[in-house]
């Protein structure tokens, strides 16, 4: 844990001076998120059990991974131009 904990002599208070925000419970954090998904999925009538939505979400997730790599290759200037062009395309004809 990158935090310094000390007792302030004047106020007698425990003070934690944060130097970063690393959690002590990274696994619990992930479990909380996935546990909530499981909670809804177990209820039966849930979008988490919708095959089509699951395929779309997984597909988009893979595309996102690819996009992030392309963004890195493009560099900031060209990335911004590509993003602007995609935004214009998304708004075209509306």
Partner 1 sequence: MYHLDGTDVLDERYYQKTRSVCPECLKVIDAEILEEDDQIWMKKNCKEHGDFKDKISSNAKYYKWTHYGTDEWNFLKNGEVNPPDCESTDPRGCPYNCGLCDQHLSSCSLALIDLTNRCNFNCNFCYANVQKAGYWIEPSLEELDRIMNHFRSKPMPPPSIMFTGGEPTVRADFPEICAMAKKHGFQEVIVATNGYGFQKKNGGLEWTKKVLESGVDTLYFQFDGINNITYEKTRGIKNLMNYKMRVIENCRKAGLSSIVLVATIAKGITDIEIGNIIQFAIDNIDVVRGITFQPVSLCGRISHEDLTGLRITNADVIQEIDNQTGGKIGIENAWYPLSTVVEMGRIISYLADVEPVEFTCHPDCGFATYMVLDPDTNEMVPLMEYFDPLKIVDFSNRFWEKIKKKEKQPIKFFENILGEFGQTLDKGLNWLNKQQLKARFLMGMLQYTKKPGKLMELFTRVLLNGNWESISSFTHGTLLISSMHFQDAYNFNVERAKRCIVHFGIAMPDGSVKECSFCTMNTFHRPHIEKAIAKKLTEKVKNEFDTTVGLLTEEVKQEVARNGGQEKGE
Binding site residues, partner 1, CB under 8 A: 3, 11-26, 28-37, 40, 46-48, 53, 56-58, 60-61, 63-65, 67-68, 71, 83, 86-87, 89-91, 94
Residue 78 or 86 having the CB closest to partner 1: 86
Could you tell me the smallest distance in angstroms from the CB atom of residue 11 to partner 1? Answer: 7
Residue 60 or 78 having the CB closest to partner 1: 60
**Which secondary-structure segment (H or E) carries 63?**
helix 51-74
Per-position b or e across 11-24, b if 16+ CB within 10 A of its CB: eeeeeeeeeeeeee
Note every long-range contact of 89-92, with CB atoms under 8 Å and residues 24 or more positions apart, other chains counting: none
Could you tell me the smallest distance in angstroms from the CB atom of residue 35 to partner 1? Answer: 7
Which 8-state DSSP code applies to residue 92? T
């Amino acid at each position: 844990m990158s935090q310094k904990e000390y007792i302030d002599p004047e106020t007698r208070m425990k003070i934690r001076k944060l130097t970063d925000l690393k959690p002590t419970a990274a696994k619990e954090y992930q479990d909380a998120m996935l546990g909530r998904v499981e909670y809804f999925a177990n209820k039966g009538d849930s979008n988490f059990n919708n095959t089509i939505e699951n395929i779309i979400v997984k597909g988009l997730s893979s595309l996102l991974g690819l996009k992030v790599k392309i963004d890195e290759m493009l560099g900031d200037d060209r990335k911004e131009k590509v993003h602007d062009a995609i935004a214009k395309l998304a708004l075209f004809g509306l």
